[in-house]
Structures are given as structure tokens and as C-alpha cells.
Structure 1
Amino acid sequence: MKSYIILVLAFVILLTQNSCFREEPNNKLSQESIWKNELLLDEYVLPWYRNMDNGFSTYVTTIMKGIGREYEPWYGDQITVSRSDWYSADYGDILKSNMEGITRRARTRWSTYYTQIQSINLLLENEKEIANGEHKTRVLGEAHFFRAYYYYMLLRNYGGPLLIKNTYDPLRDNKKFPRASYEETVNYIVSEARIAAGLLQPAENSDVGRANKGVALMLIAKTYFWASGSKFQNQTKEYLGFPDDRSDAMMTEAAKAYDELMKLNYGLVQINATTKDEIVSQYRNIFLTKNTTESIWEIQHSDDGNFDTGFGHKLDRDAAAPSFGGTYAAYVPTQNHVNEYRTITGKTITEAGTDYDPANPYENRDYRFYANILYDGCSFKSHTMDIHYTKVDGTEIPGEDLVKYGSSTTATFTKTGYYLGKFVRESQKIDNDEVYASSQNCIIWRYAEVLLDYAEIDFKQGRVGDAKEKLNQIRRRVHMPEYNTVTWDDIVNERRVELAFEKSTYWDFLRWGNAEEKMTGTTNPLKGIKIVKEEGKPTTYTETIVNGKNTKMRLFRAIQYFQPIPWDEIRYHGIEQNPDWKEM
């Protein structure tokens, strides 16, 4: 088994040897030579993977880092950043609903997705030139999968896009394309993903990191699941959703795809430990282990963590507290999210009674809290996290993890009173080496999300018992008490706790249609905690507003449910722009 990244190295080595490739300049290889050579075909396919998602390599974007592709976890309400200078860059523009910044980012995404679709269309138009065999079958499967995937990304961001199924050069071809309806786009994505599922092998028979049958089935299910969202029903514009309510029909189709997917060799990674510390350690390790049986789709980061020449990343360094040499405090969980973790008996902190002690708020909580959050007094890297103030003679002295590290003027520390525990590796060295960093993969889809999606479908379609059983599979894994019955709040809470900081919680707000409330500071301000200890007195825990207390700092407008299509495309094709967007 090998990851697709290894193919790049093999290709480079081959080009340096005395081979037939020497007959043509490396940067001027003819199409014919690509279609007829397996190694060149694999090189041709690589950009489809690399452009689908940045993984952990760009989670908070700045002007220096450029505009990334999929880092929406940081625009929800579960996590924020502590670097004030980032609010003046791309991240801040999006957070503050800056129309120019959103338009610029939307234009980049549109171009990225259609560039890859053009590449895919070119290969599929030349499929007869590819020698028959297993390699051809796999490459064609990847092509159909990625054509479906990029149209799925376009659908989520823009609504109905332009369905361009063949190579297209506007400089030579004056053909114009209409916007597809939501229904047309959903059907096309599903049809392409279905072709891919028929061509690709199951994960256990595929190279690690490559698209496979399970990934294609997941895409079918996720497309229907997305289209079932309340935001996309009873729309007056056919490219923004359905003219009537298709939610139930879409959920039914999603359930069928999930049924098919669940027959494959996926399952939750089980935790066999019995003590709290062991349970927490094993749960956290799920997100540090590459390509487990729970994983359906991951971004494959380089094993050596090389950030310059490979595809490593700096998540551990960016998330590190000052006591470990961290200067970014880039990913700090909010008190909003901490409050979502229920007690060890399964009760919310407001209904827990004696099960929850406000004077000791971090005791007796869901085991996933201890795995996902670094809080005051917990142990990490053989260090007791010091995220409180000590009051001496009326002066509040900050703890070690509330004092910036080093002399950098931009160095900072957590503004919420927490640091990230999920995804970070306790053994990762944090130093000043700007080349070698972290290597853990970024999970896009995993089996727990299948269960959570299906539980939501079951609940909405009246199968409450089935929904309960799917949630309980997840809760049994983390040794939490099972539900006797479930409510909608239970469904939402379990989803947000289990999928914390992953690629789903932001998009949930959009498909549920409550993003304006959840991502606006006046209605849902981001909160932190200030802890003060004084000898002889009870410790105080005071919730604070860390940003978003006004619309200037954190705002989501109704206009943002559908991103603006580039204005050049609007004019050239003569199509309608998404509602209320003005040319900048």
C-alpha cells in the first residue's frame, strides 16, 4: 500500500534516469505521451487531490498565507484565534462579513474548482487513448469521482453552477452555459459519483489516500444529505434550491446511500480502556492515527512533516501554548463549545444539579472534553496547564500559559482560557525549525459522521429508536451513558461534540438555515473564561466575551448562504448573480 504522494517522488526519480521520457522536454510532454503512460497519468491526477482541500496546511488564512480552500471550522462558534493581526487579513475580512474579501475568496475558489473540472474533462475525452486494464479503470473512477466532488463543492458554495461536461476554451468557443438548477446539479453529482463507485475498489483494495468505492458512496450520501437542508426547500430561484419541499425525498436517498456504504469495511475505532486517562488517550489517538478503519476520506499529509518541499503542516506549532514555545495561539476553543460537553452522567450543565459543580466546572465531564480541550489544571506534555490568574495583594498575576512566549511583537496567548487538544500530538517537538513540522492527516469524512448523519435522518423521518441506537454506538465507544430516548437537542449536541472542529459543524449552520444567528456576535457572541485564584478564597470562573460582541467584529449576513459567482462569468454567460451581491 502506498499514498499518492509517493507517486510524485517516483515520477521525479524516473525523469532523472536515462529513459524514453528524455525524448521530450519535461514541461512540454504531449497529451498522447501522458495518456499512454501510467506514471504520467498518475502525475496528471495529482492536482485533483491537492486542490480538493488544504487539510491542516492552511487553517487560518492570512494575506501572507494566501486564500485557502476549506477551513470553515474557524468561522463557526466552537473555536477562534488569538492573533489580533489576523483580524486585519483575510480571516478577519470573512469573519466581519467584508464583501470585498468574500468576493475575492469566492472568485479564487470558483477558479480552482473549474480548473480541475477542465483537467478532468480533458482526460475523459481522451479515455480511448488510455490502455485498457486495472490502471485505466482506477484513473477513470478517480476522474468521475473528482468531477462529482468539485461540483459538490460548487453546489455548497454557490448553488446551481454551470454544468460544463466537456473541455471548453472561451477564447475559441463562444458557447454560453446557463446556470443549472439545484435538482440538475444534485442529479449530475450523484450520477458521476455512481459511475465512480462502479469503477473504484473498496478501501482495503485501494492505495492509501486514493479515492475508492466508499468515498464515492459517501459523496452520494453527503450530496443528498446537503440537499435535504431546510435552506434549500421552497426556493423561488431554481438554482438556489427546490421549488417545493424535497427534504424528505433527499433524506430517503441519502439513507439508501448510507445503507450501501455501511456494508463496506468501515466501523468505529473501539476504545477498550477502562480508566478515564486511558479512555481520553485512546480517543485522542483516533485523530493522530492515519487511515484507520473509521476513516473514509483523509487529506494525506507527508509522514516526515516537511512543510517546504512536502505536504506537512504546522498545526501543532500554531496551536501550542506559550509554555511549549508557542507564539500563535491560533486555534483556541471557546467557552460556547466547552459548555456543550455534558456531565459524565449525560446531563447538560444547566440540568445536571449535583452532577455539575460550578466551583469545579472541569470535573465529571464527557470524556471527549478531556481529549479535545486543554484547560486550566490539566496535564499535557508533562506540564500542568497554567491558564489562571493568581491574585496577590489585589494584583492579578497571569499564569505561565497567559504570558506570551519570546520577544516577537505578534506573539500571543489564548484569549478564551483554553488551548486545542484534539488533533495535536503530545510528543510533537515545538521549535524554531520552519521546515519540519507536523504530519497527522486531516480527516474529511469518518464513520462517526455517517452514524450522526443517519441519526438525524432517522429522527426527522420519525424513526426515533433507530436514531437513538446510532447515537448510542458513538456514546458506547467513549464509555458515556446511553440515551434512553433522544430529542433534537440531543442530536445536535452529539454531532457538535463528536465532530468538534471538523469540517462539518460550520456547514451544518448553513444547511439548517441558522447561520445568521449562530455566526453573528449580537446573537451568539464568542465567549471565554477568566479564572482567578486567591489564597483562602474560592476560585472564580467568569465568562467573558472574547470577540463578536458587536456586528463589526463578527457577522454573517443572509447574502452569504450563496457566495458570489465571479462577475466576468456573469457577464460572459449572461446568467443571474446570487441574490443581493453587487460588483466590487
Structure 2
Amino acid sequence: MKKSFFHRYLSAGCMALAVTLTLTGCDALFDDAPEDKLTDESIWTSENLLDEYTMAWYSNMNKGWSALMSTSSFLGMKYMSYITPAFYSDQTTYGMANWVNSGVGEEMASKESTVILYGRNRWKDYYTQIQSVNRLLENAGKMPTAYRQRILGEAHFFRGYYYYMLMRRFGGVLLIDHNYDPLHSDERFPRASYEQMAEFIAREADLAAEALPVKHDNRNTGRVTKGAALMLKAKTYFWMGSPQFQNKSKEYYGFTDDKSREYMLKAIEAYKAVDALDAYRLMSVSGTKEADIAQSYHDLFLQHNNAESILEYQHGESRLTSEGAHSLDQMGMPPVLTGTQCAYCPTQNHVDEYGMRDGKPFDQQNPYANRDYRFYANVLYDGTTFRDSLMELHYVIDKTGKEVAQSGLTKYGTGRNNGFTRTGYYMRKFLDPKTSYPYKDNEGSKQDYPIWRYAELLLDYAEAAFRTGDVKTALEKVNLVRQRVHMQPLESVTLAQILNERRVEMAFEETTYWDEIRLGTAVKDLNGSTNPLRLIKIVYRADGTKTYATEELKNQKAERAFRDYQYYGPIPWDEVRFQGIEQNTGWTEK
């Protein structure tokens, strides 16, 4: 089985580099190792060791589909919990009730101490990688010319990328562009303005684009490319041109005036540059019947590095956990298929985002008929089948008149905390019906995790065009996405329609969470008090009729909270004191 470049090095190379650096393990590579060990001449002159050195840049940019949800307080295990950012949006929720007590659950509920802890960890992780890049760039002259260009391209990409990640979490941060040892230096750094962040990230992206190829050979498939670098530049401008960052009180929160048009126009030019590479396209969706169209669209998300992918987290072709396999299918499996976690349960809030097709009216007594084809690809609902099993997500009335939950609404097994859907739905998107489940020993799932893909580029472009007055182009870009999946083109378009198209096309992808931040809608949409998650309750009656009722999930005010000041996360207090910078408004030291 072919390994990706990523896991080829993680599985074999990390030990070799550890020996070279006299380290004890990969986890300590950039965090605890003495600096003099990291600058050993053998690293900068060896292509293999340099590639192994860069692996931390790839592995820390995202966790991909890997997830850990612990509720144990032993050794702080609950605060090691992590999952895709999409989990924080209103499109999905968890099936295991005790997950509310995990670190992720506490962060979703805005428990301040947990939010501060997670913020400190992310700040540290991102700056660790930036320092690693700075260290390499300081030694760039020692690298042989044969492979210097590609590695320098990766370095500039990741320095820009990690600053982009920091900006999304904290606003303007400390721009450190050289090797920096705070223990032996009097140097201090101010917080950068948004404009300075934009200039720095865009410059890094340009340097990366100049050095990187449009496409790698098969051995290096999955590495960052010229297209990924240009997309980073576009995404940075797109973020900065969004509503949340205009007319702010301080320059590290955004712009003190309105620069939306200026930065959206810059974003459009960057998206055009990605398009001009002629390296990406929408993958086609085949079929003429509803089930065939839905299946064809669904299967696109099981492919690795296809023509639509601009950047994705590489989990590899192998199903071995030692080579990057994850537990997505196990975590998402319905109980009728022996699933016990049911981690991704689409909400009625999300189901309502799928429109009708061909102008058909919505039928309250037949709510799953004639919906957007993507609904059938993305969501498991009552009456559909998956892995040859019928999804019975309803109640029946027994002889005593009692409502009895059917198989899809009851847990599998005897575990006290085993989960089942709280919403009446399970996720279908990304699940692979061909994955052997239950997993064999040391095996898992192999779906890659999309970070940026061409459909997102088109929808970004559409929004940017609309916000700058080019409604015609906005309509064209949206219709490209819709028609790919056999949906009828829109005759005209509004901003609300563009944003809804994003929610449908990008369902369960992390941009659905980040959109809430950049649009300034998180306080409204991520709070259980203002936007409670909703479920559907379906009852089959003895006379053959069915009832469909939507209800709010319980405990929404306690489970989901987002305060206005959380648009800008808490900078570690040690950093605030050491650098003499201002903390983001709203955060207080306990």
C-alpha cells in the first residue's frame, strides 16, 4: 500500500532524526530539544533529515479527522480532548451525553478557565512551528541548492500559515521573523496591526508561490504547492475583508475604518491567480436519479488529493493507525451498525438549510422529498439506508399507546454512556461504506481531511464579488457549484443565498465554524439561548400516518455559549507580561 510523503517520514524518519539529534522522540523535536542540537550541520545538508524536520509543520497545522474526547479528570485527560472545528458550529452535535464534560464540551460552553487553557496551548503550538521555520531560514545558506528551493517554499508557506492561524484566534499578534531566544535576548515585540499581518502573510505566501511547483511528483503528493500558497494569500485577504474586522477600536482587532472593499478586491485577484494555474476544477457528479447523484457526490469526499483539492491533511492510503489512519467511521457510525459514540449528529438547524429542487414546494408531511441532492449525500435520515441497513429514526405507538423508540434512536451495547443521535439524524458525508467495521486490530479509516478545495474558492470568490458590487460574477460562481451537483441554477442571487450555499456545500467542514467568526454572527449562532439546536421527532401511528415535530434540544443554554469578547481569544498571560502587550478585551487573569 502506498504511503503519503507525510507518513513515510512519520513512520520511519522520526526515529532516524531523533538519533541524529540525540533526542528521545518525535513529540520533543521542536519543543524540548536544545537549540544547539537542532542546528546540527547534518540536518541542513541532508534532504531526508530536512524533510523529517518539516514534518512537524504539516502535522501541527491540523489534527485532520483524528479526535480524542475524554471526560476523565485523571492527569487532566479531559483537557487533551480535540476534534474538528466544524464540531463547534450549529450544524452538528454529539450523541454521547457525557461529552459535555470533556474539554471540548467545556470550551463549547465557554467555561473561561478551559477557553484560556486551550488558547494557551494553541498559541504555544503555533509559535513553536514559527520558531522552527525561523531556525531553518537562518540556516538556509547551508542547504544544497538541489532541494533548497522547495524546502524554502514550504518554510515560507508555513510561517505565513501559522500566522494566519494565530490571527484567526487572537487578532494581531507578535510578528517574529527571525530566530528568537527570549531567555537570552532583551528583544520584545509589539502586537501587529491587521494591516501589518496582511502584508506579512501575503509576502510569505508570495515567496512560497515563487518557490513551489504547481504540482508535485507522486512521491511528494500532498505537500504544499504554488496553488496552496496563493490560496493562503487569498484566504487572508478574504478574512480581513469580512464584516467582523471593519471599524474596530484598535488596529489589532481589524481596521479602524472600513477596508472591506479594498481587501475583498485583493482577495479576488488572489483567487484569480489560483484559477490561472489551471490546476484545479470541480469534480464532476454523475447520475440521473436522486440516489445515483447523491452517491456520486458523496464519493468525492472519499478520494485523496483529487483535482478539486487545494490543500488537505494527509491521512495516507494505508488503514494502519501507525501510518495516519483515524477513527472517523467508528465515531460517526449509527448504533444499528454497532456504533457507540455517534459523534456527529446533524441538527435540524442544518437540515433546514437544504432547499427544494426544481421549484418543488416543501411538504411538511413528506419533508425529505425533492430536497437538494446534497442532503441525501450528507445526512442519514429516517427511512434511508446505509451499509444495507435501514435507518429507523422514529417512534412507533405500541398497544398501550406508548411511544417506542426504534433502532436508530437507541444505543448499541450495554455501556452506560454509549451514544445515539439526539437530533434524529446521523452524518453520512465523509463516512466510507467500504471501510471494514468494526476495525481490525491496529487499523482505522483513511479519508483525508479537506482544508481548502476549489468549491470553497468559488464560494469565497462569489461572496467577495457580491460585496464589491459584481453581482453577475457572484451569480456565475454560485451556479457553478450548484450545477455541479445537478441543482438548478439561480436566476438571481442575494448575499443570504451565497452564505446558505456555503453552509450546504461546505457542510461539516471547518469553514462553517470560521465563517461565524469572520461574519460576526458567532454570538447569535453559537449561543444556545439565541440559536438552540433543534431535533426532529417522527412518530409512526397505527393508522399508517406519520407526524413530524421539531423541538429544541435540552440544556442548550448550558451546553452552548459564545460571548462577544470571544471573537479574539485569550493571549497567554505570561506572554502579555513578558512582552508588555495588551490582552484582548474581556479576559481577566484568575
Instruction: Please name the residue that 1:296 is paired with.
Output: 310
1:555 CA drift (Å): 1.1
1:170 to 168, 171, 182: 182
Identity %: 45
2:153 to 137, 141, 147: 141
Matched-pair contact (CA < 8 Å) for 1:344–1:480: yes
* More displaced 10-residue stretch of structure 1: 111-120 or 426-435: 426-435
Matched-pair contact (CA < 8 Å) for 1:35–1:129: yes
2:264 to 251, 256, 260: 251
Distance in 1 (alpha carbons) for counterparts of 2:83 and 2:151: 25
Matched, 1:155 2:167: yes
Structure 1: tracts of 5 or more residues without a match: 16-20, 347-351
Matched, 1:397 2:404: yes
Distance in 2 (alpha carbons) for counterparts of 1:65 and 1:295: 33
1:409 CA drift (Å): 1.3
Instruction: Please name the residue that 1:334 is paired with.
Output: 347
1:10 CA drift (Å): 5.1
1:36 to 42, 45, 61: 45
2:499 to 492, 496, 511: 492
Distance 1:185 1:384, change over 3 A: same
Distance in 2 (alpha carbons) for counterparts of 1:577 and 1:14: 41
Q: For residues 462-504 of structure 1, what are the alpha-carbon distances to aligned partners after superposition, in whole Å with 9 as ceiling and x for unaligned?
A: 1111111111111111111110111122111111000001011
1:317 CA drift (Å): 0.4
Distance 1:68 1:192, change over 3 A: farther
Matched-pair contact (CA < 8 Å) for 2:239–2:518: yes
1:278 CA drift (Å): 1.4
1:275 CA drift (Å): 1.7
1:62 CA drift (Å): 5.4
Distance in 1 (alpha carbons) for counterparts of 2:243 and 2:434: 44
Q: Secondary structure at the match of 2:158?
A: helix
1:303 CA drift (Å): 2.3
Distance in 2 (alpha carbons) for counterparts of 1:108 and 1:26: 22
1:373 CA drift (Å): 0.1
Matched-pair contact (CA < 8 Å) for 1:67–1:105: no
Residue 318 of structure 1 aligns with an amino acid whose one-letter code is M
Distance in 2 (alpha carbons) for counterparts of 1:581 and 1:434: 45
Cα RMSD, aligned residues only: 1.9
Q: For residues 515-568 of structure 1, what are the alpha-carbon distances to aligned partners after superposition, in whole Å with 9 as ceiling and x for unaligned?
A: 100111121110011111012142011111114542x22111001100000000
Distance in 1 (alpha carbons) for counterparts of 2:418 and 2:138: 52
Distance in 2 (alpha carbons) for counterparts of 1:438 and 1:276: 27
Matched-pair contact (CA < 8 Å) for 2:394–2:405: yes
Matched, 1:429 2:436: yes
Distance in 2 (alpha carbons) for counterparts of 1:174 and 1:399: 67
Distance in 2 (alpha carbons) for counterparts of 1:237 and 1:69: 31
Matched, 1:455 2:457: no
Matched-pair contact (CA < 8 Å) for 1:388–1:402: yes
Distance in 2 (alpha carbons) for counterparts of 1:67 and 1:24: 28
Instruction: Please name the residue that 1:5 is paired with.
Output: 7
1:401 CA drift (Å): 1.3
1:67 CA drift (Å): 3.9
Structure 2: tracts of 5 or more residues without a match: 25-36
Matched-pair contact (CA < 8 Å) for 1:69–1:109: no
Instruction: Please name the residue that 1:223 is paired with.
Output: 236
1:186 CA drift (Å): 1.1
Instruction: Please name the residue that 2:293 is paired with.
Output: 279
Distance in 2 (alpha carbons) for counterparts of 1:282 and 1:10: 36
Matched-pair contact (CA < 8 Å) for 1:53–1:69: no
Q: For residues 374-393 of structure 1, what are the alpha-carbon distances to aligned partners after superposition, in whole Å with 9 as ceiling and x for unaligned?
A: 00000110011111111112
Matched, 1:387 2:393: yes
Residue 364 of structure 2 aligns with an amino acid whose one-letter code is P
Q: How many residues align?
A: 569
Matched-pair contact (CA < 8 Å) for 1:368–1:497: yes
Residue 210 of structure 1 aligns with an amino acid whose one-letter code is R
Matched-pair contact (CA < 8 Å) for 1:60–1:71: no
Distance 1:556 1:33, change over 3 A: same
Distance in 2 (alpha carbons) for counterparts of 1:485 and 1:326: 43
Q: Secondary structure at the match of 2:559?
A: coil
2:508 to 491, 498, 501: 501
Distance in 1 (alpha carbons) for counterparts of 2:121 and 2:301: 30
Distance in 2 (alpha carbons) for counterparts of 1:261 and 1:237: 32
Matched-pair contact (CA < 8 Å) for 2:338–2:412: yes
1:432 CA drift (Å): 6.0
1:472 to 471, 479, 484: 479
Matched, 1:53 2:50: no
Distance in 1 (alpha carbons) for counterparts of 2:588 and 2:203: 34
Distance 1:236 1:24, change over 3 A: closer
Distance in 2 (alpha carbons) for counterparts of 1:250 and 1:62: 43
Q: For residues 200-242 of structure 1, what are the alpha-carbon distances to aligned partners after superposition, in whole Å with 9 as ceiling and x for unaligned?
A: 0002557211011000000000000000111111111111111
Matched-pair contact (CA < 8 Å) for 1:522–1:548: no
Q: Secondary structure at the match of 1:430?
A: coil
1:305 CA drift (Å): 2.6
Instruction: Please name the residue that 1:118 is paired with.
Output: 131
Q: For residues 169-223 of structure 1, what are the alpha-carbon distances to aligned partners after superposition, in whole Å with 9 as ceiling and x for unaligned?
A: 1111121111111110111001011100000000255721101100000000000
1:458 CA drift (Å): 1.2
Residue 78 of structure 1 aligns with an amino acid whose one-letter code is Q
Matched-pair contact (CA < 8 Å) for 1:179–1:239: yes
Q: Secondary structure at the match of 1:298?
A: strand
1:70 CA drift (Å): 6.8
Q: For residues 247-269 of structure 1, what are the alpha-carbon distances to aligned partners after superposition, in whole Å with 9 as ceiling and x for unaligned?
A: 10000100000001001210000
Q: Secondary structure at the match of 2:65?
A: helix
TM-score normalized by the length of structure 2: 0.93
Instruction: Please name the residue that 1:343 is paired with.
Output: 356
Distance in 2 (alpha carbons) for counterparts of 1:469 and 1:55: 31
1:407 to 390, 414, 417: 414
Residue 269 of structure 1 aligns with an amino acid whose one-letter code is M
Q: Secondary structure at the match of 1:56?
A: coil
* More displaced 10-residue stretch of structure 1: 559-568 or 420-429: 420-429
Instruction: Please name the residue that 1:573 is paired with.
Output: 579
Q: Secondary structure at the match of 2:397?
A: strand
Instruction: Please name the residue that 1:349 is paired with.
Output: none
Q: For residues 60-81 of structure 1, what are the alpha-carbon distances to aligned partners after superposition, in whole Å with 9 as ceiling and x for unaligned?
A: 5756475467722111110010
TM-score normalized by the length of structure 1: 0.94
Q: For residues 72-121 of structure 1, what are the alpha-carbon distances to aligned partners after superposition, in whole Å with 9 as ceiling and x for unaligned?
A: 21111100101111101212211111111100000000000000011100
1:89 to 102, 122, 138: 102
Matched, 1:564 2:570: yes
Q: Secondary structure at the match of 1:57?
A: coil
Distance in 1 (alpha carbons) for counterparts of 2:20 and 2:587: 51
1:482 to 484, 489, 492: 489
Matched-pair contact (CA < 8 Å) for 1:417–1:528: yes
Instruction: Please name the residue that 1:189 is paired with.
Output: 201
Matched-pair contact (CA < 8 Å) for 1:318–1:329: yes
Instruction: Please name the residue that 1:213 is paired with.
Output: 226
